[in-house]
Amino acid sequence: MNLTSTRDKTQSVALSYALLNPSANFGGLFVPKNFPKFDDEFFKKAVHLSYKELALEIINSFDFNIDEEIFKLALNSYDKFDDKNIPLKIEKISENLYINELYHGPTRAFKDMALQPFGIIIDELAKKDNKNYLIICATSGDTGPATLKAFENSKNVKVVCLYPYEGTSEVQRLQMVTSNDRNLKVIGIKGNFDDAQKALKTLLGDEDFKNTLKKENLFLSAANSVNFGRILFQIIYHFYDYVNFLKNGILKGNETFDIIVPSGNFGNALGAYYAKKMGAKIGVIKIASNQNNVLTNLFNNGIYDIKNKSLIKTISPAMDILVSSNVERLLFDKFGDIKTKELMQNLKDNKSYKIPKIEGFEAKFCTDKECINFIKEISKKGKLIDPHTATCFKFTPVKKPTVITSTAHWVKFTPSMIKAIKNGEVKDEKNDMLNLAKEFNDKVPNEILSLFSNEEKHKKIVEKEEIKNTIIEWIKK
Ligand SMILES: *Cc1c(COP(=O)(O)O)cnc(C)c1O
């Protein structure tokens, strides 16, 4: 099957092309032309499959142009997660409420679920074509570390990671700036995530920049969730939620369950939407936001409006986003390419657009104060949740089986944890983290502990205008 553009459905490209050239016609995003559908017969069988086997069934159903062997290799990246049999962990936390921890990979955020296999696929495609790629990634804190990790040691792929200086947590910053490999470059920018994402989008469309790279034998690509390769792997774990409920007899027949997703760029929630479209019996997809509540307004009132908004810095920085890229894929699915192109033009020209209400979603947002209270409340039950996952509790209690999508390990956000649980401030981040873990019978992953003694290699902080030249300088070195 091929993919098409959200802004031009006459475009048709193979997956291998879309992964390496993620910008589609008229500035659109790539989406599969169709979504395969799974029926009850399949699910009867699926309860006996391992996570990787299920993943492969779902991937193969799309019949993309990439060899199954490459996908298998990609899925083997899950072998290094905490439990080599399954990359995630689902736990019941109260009546009807389950938590799907998606942060058991090497950088302790759910981004690893997609970026680990994605890295292998890109590397394999580059090797096969004997080409070299530059992947630029804009990060609000978790995509950066996960992308750098995914391409560690790659011979054919270089990575430049743009992060908002002072916009990430200390652990996230350390994860990036201590990167050691010569193919990795980390640049702090004086701006916020939207500035970083905008710089990325501009560079992807900059012919002069691309020509300069070409002279160095480099082709340009992106690893943000604008890349469909990310979304593909984010469908699978929501699918698995359903299979897991069937396996454990929590759901039967036509019963559905709800999913709560802490959302920013809307890639994770979009994965849930696609899983539902493909036959997983998902009821309502509940979109949790922080005070940057553009999505709350969109799903409740049909209005996307950033005219008078400026980004608010919150304790859930991975969700500090005003321009939520993947909403475009939902718009395409609901309203088609012509309407989507028009709406995106409105967003560009007037900083707003209006649509009819989209069914199947609910949306709420959390203030930092509410998040802190949720972290404290849940900690009394002996469970530590990070500030992003905490936003989901705005939807609790729940009346039917519901899965909270837990997106990051709390160790990445120790200052907020100490504030919530100890009503205090961090004195020594590493120590405070260790003490908190001990108190809750939890463990600080080794790769987080070692960050504090690793050398900071990447010190560069630049103005937005200097990004392009900084990258070119590094490439030419
Ligand atoms: C990226 C991220 C999110 C937001 O996910 P989207 O797919 O961009 O909506 C939420 N929480 C954490 C911890 C993240 O890293």
Tally the C-alpha atoms within 13 A of residue 407's C-alpha that lie toward its C-beta. 28
CA gap 114, 59 in Å, rounded: 13
CA gap 215, 205 in Å, rounded: 17
CA 120 – ligand 1 centroid, Å:
21
- Is residue 262 within 6 Å of ligand 1 at its C-beta? yes
CA 267 – ligand 1 centroid, Å:
8
CA 327 – ligand 1 centroid, Å:
14
Give the SS3 label for residue 303.
Answer: strand
Which residue has the CA at smallest separation from atom 1 of ligand 1? 318
411-466 pLDDT, tens digit each: 999 999 999 999 999 999 999 999 999 999 999 999 999 999 999 999 999 999 99
Instruction: Give the tokens for residue 192.
Output: 């916020």
- Is residue 241 within 6 Å of ligand 1 at its C-beta? no
Identify the CATH number of the domain defined by range 85-108+228-445. Answer: 3.40.50.1100
The answer to whether the CB of 106 falls within 8 A of the CB of 116 is: yes
Please report the sign of the dihedral spanned by the C-alpha atoms of residue 22, residue 26, residue 29, residue 33. Answer: negative
- Is residue 264 within 6 Å of ligand 1 at its C-beta? yes
- Is residue 263 within 6 Å of ligand 1 at its C-beta? yes
CA angle 461, 115, 122 (to 5 degrees): 95
Domain ranges of the chain: 85-108+228-445, 109-223+446-476
- Is residue 246 within 6 Å of ligand 1 at its C-beta? no
Helix (H) or strand (E) holding 284: strand 282-289
Ligand 1 nearest atom to the CA of residue 388, by list position: 11
Instruction: Give the tokens for residue 57.
Output: 């069934």
Ligand 1 nearest atom to the CA of residue 271, by list position: 7
φ and ψ at residue 279, rounded to 5 degrees: 120, -10
pLDDT of residue 446: 95
The answer to whether the CB of 29 falls within 8 A of the CB of 22 is: yes
3-state secondary structure 11-69: EEECHHHHHHCCECHHHCEEEECCCCCCCHHHHHHHCCCCHHHHHHHHHHHCCCCCCHH
Strand partners, 99: 91, 404
pLDDT of residue 468: 95
Instruction: Give the tokens for residue 440.
Output: 């809750």
CA gap 200, 413 in Å, rounded: 26
**In this structure, how many other beta carbons lie within 10 angstroms of the beta carbon of residue 443?**
13
DSSP conformation class of 311: P
**In this structure, how many other beta carbons lie within 10 angstroms of the beta carbon of residue 454?**
13
Residues contacting 379, CB < 8 A, separation 6+? 385, 420, 421, 440
CA distances in angstroms from 97 to 257, 294, 469, 476, listed in the order given: 10, 26, 50, 53
**In this structure, how many other beta carbons lie within 10 angstroms of the beta carbon of residue 379?**
19
The most distant pair of C-alpha atoms in the chain lies apart, rounded to whole Å, by 61
Amino acid identity for residue 142 in this structure: D
pLDDT of residue 225: 74
pLDDT of residue 99: 98
CA gap 158, 382 in Å, rounded: 42
pLDDT of residue 305: 96
Q: Which of 108, 298, 319, 328 to mutate for ligand 1's pocket (most ligand atoms within 8 Å of CB)?
A: 319
Give the SS3 label for residue 358.
Answer: coil
CA 182 – ligand 1 centroid, Å:
28
CA gap 182, 180 in Å, rounded: 7
DSSP conformation class of 86: -
CA 291 – ligand 1 centroid, Å:
14
Instruction: Give the tokens for residue 320.
Output: 């500090």
Tally the C-alpha atoms within 13 A of residue 127's C-alpha that lie toward its C-beta. 9
**85-108+228-445 and 109-223+446-476 share one CATH topology?**
yes
pLDDT of residue 59: 98
Which residue has the CA at smallest separation from atom 8 of ligand 1? 265
Ligand 1 nearest atom to the CA of residue 265, by list position: 8
- Is residue 109 within 6 Å of ligand 1 at its C-beta? yes
308-354 pLDDT, tens digit each: 999 899 999 999 989 999 999 999 999 999 999 999 999 999 999 99
CA 373 – ligand 1 centroid, Å:
20
- Is residue 318 within 6 Å of ligand 1 at its C-beta? yes
* Parts of the chain with a pLDDT under 70: none
pLDDT of residue 223: 84
Domain covering 109-223+446-476 assigned CATH 1.20.1530.20 in the classification: no
